[in-house]
Amino acid sequence: MSGYLDAATAEPLHPAAREALLAALDDGWADPDRAYREARRARILLDGAREAVAASLGARPDEVSFTPSGTVANHLAVLGGLLARRRAGRRLVVSAVEHSTVLAAARLHEAAGGDVATVVVGPTAAVDTAAYADALTPDTALASLQAANHEVGTVQPVAEVAAACRDRSVPLHVDAAQVVGRLPIPPGWDILTASARKWGGPAGVGVLAVRIGTRWRSPAPEDDHETGRAPGPVALPLVLAAAAALQARSAAAADDARRLGQLSERLRSEIPHRVPDVEVYGPADAAARLPHLVAFSCLYVAGEALMTELDRAGFRVSSGSSCSSSALTPSHVLEAIGALTHGNVRVSLPSDADDAVVEGFLDALPPIVASLRDRAGVSGL
């Protein structure tokens, strides 16, 4: 039984990725921008990887570029979209629960004199489409909305927001990191970003896709790599491994979603039944949330202590802000939905999760929480 339950941060390396990576170390080491034989071979491999990733995203190969990470992809998407439309305005619209990398780019834009409009969310972390549409003023250069929330699993109304953006001629950036390889890609995006380690590819590969006809300009110094979208050469063996993992994950996505959804439903129903004073987050409707993610908070328990004790029991989970849990900073997502920011745990099931690991977690959690409450002197409150 594997106790790794933090797949929303990084899915374990898919076997297809491992096989492709080892083969690519021999066949894909040359510079694909050169003209000699080994370089031509590398170019063929890179083009094939781009085509495979594009097919999974519902994009054209020439719309897809590879970046060093999902973080870089988000920064380039937001800052590049804003830079290209400075004549249209300086306003950026985001939701309050975007990934920290998107919000960091927003803060940089604001510090440079730009305007950032933050759309509040409801208690499930879903944005209200009408409120988002109202934020799209005539001087809006770019809008950004995640496909699904990385901390509580809420699937956002991307198609509806995309329609509102289209009506106002505002390009929409969609951070699709949590759905690529798991759920269908929501329609209507103009710029899309993703991270390979979320679907079982290696760390070190992000994806930036820009629709043909969408105005975008790199905020980085001029560079010839990746059609000028991402500076520096790609790590070809990593890209090939990422593409192989995405193909494999996409082929199994429907079955995995159904199976993992059943496991997460058991967690959602059993955790508050077995542990008193627990709040489980996200929509009640299973169709409105990610199938593999369950987030909850335990009253009177420190999140870092709970995470440490679960780790000792063999279960690796996330606590605090999932974007920087090593610092154990409060979650801006939980703050945005008015939830308890301490004692929170995010369980995200990897593709190989089974009944045994879920039952083991459910058995381990109650005595750990009870012990921590006893130590804090709050049992029975």
Q: Which one has a higher pLDDT value, 231 or 380?
A: 231
User: What does the pLDDT read at residue 223?
Assistant: 82
- Mean pLDDT for 208-219 is 96
Q: What is the pLDDT of residues 331-343, one digit of tens each?
A: 899 999 988 777 8
Whether the per-residue pLDDT at 225 is higher than 90: the answer is no
User: What does the pLDDT read at residue 320?
Assistant: 60
Q: Which residue has the tokens 């979320």?
A: 198
User: What does the pLDDT read at residue 381?
Assistant: 59
pLDDT more than 90, % of the chain: 84
User: What does the pLDDT read at residue 325?
Assistant: 45
Q: Which range is least confidently modeled, 1-10, 103-112, 223-232? A: 223-232
Domains in the chain, ordered, with CATH? 15-247 (3.40.640.10), 252-376 (3.90.1150.10)
Distance CA 64, CA 48 (A): 12
At residue 263, φ and ψ (nearest 5 deg) are -65, -40
Average pLDDT, the chain: 93
Q: What is the pLDDT of residues 19-35, one digit of tens each?
A: 999 999 988 888 888 88
Whose CA is closest to 276, among 257, 298, 258? 298
- Mean pLDDT for 102-113 is 97
What distance, in Å, lies between the first and last C-alpha atoms of the chain?
A: 35
* Active site members: 323
- Mean pLDDT for 348-369 is 97
Q: What is the pLDDT of residues 114-171, one digit of tens each?
A: 999 999 999 999 999 999 999 999 999 999 999 999 999 999 999 999 999 999 999 9
Whether the per-residue pLDDT at 327 is higher than 60: the answer is no
Question: What number of residues does the chain have?
Answer: 381
Task: Give the pLDDT band (50/70/90) at residue 324.
Answer: very low
Q: What share of the chain is helix, strand, coil (3-state, %, to 5)?
A: 45, 15, 40
| 375, two tokens | 């130590």
Whether the per-residue pLDDT at 208 is higher than 60: the answer is yes
| 219, two tokens | 């905020």
Q: Is the distance from CB of 194 to CB of 176 less than 8 angstroms?
A: yes
CA 276 to chain centre: 30
pLDDT more than 70, % of the chain: 96
Q: Which residue has the tokens 């409060």?
A: 330
- Mean pLDDT for 218-228 is 85
Q: Which amino acid is at 83?
A: L
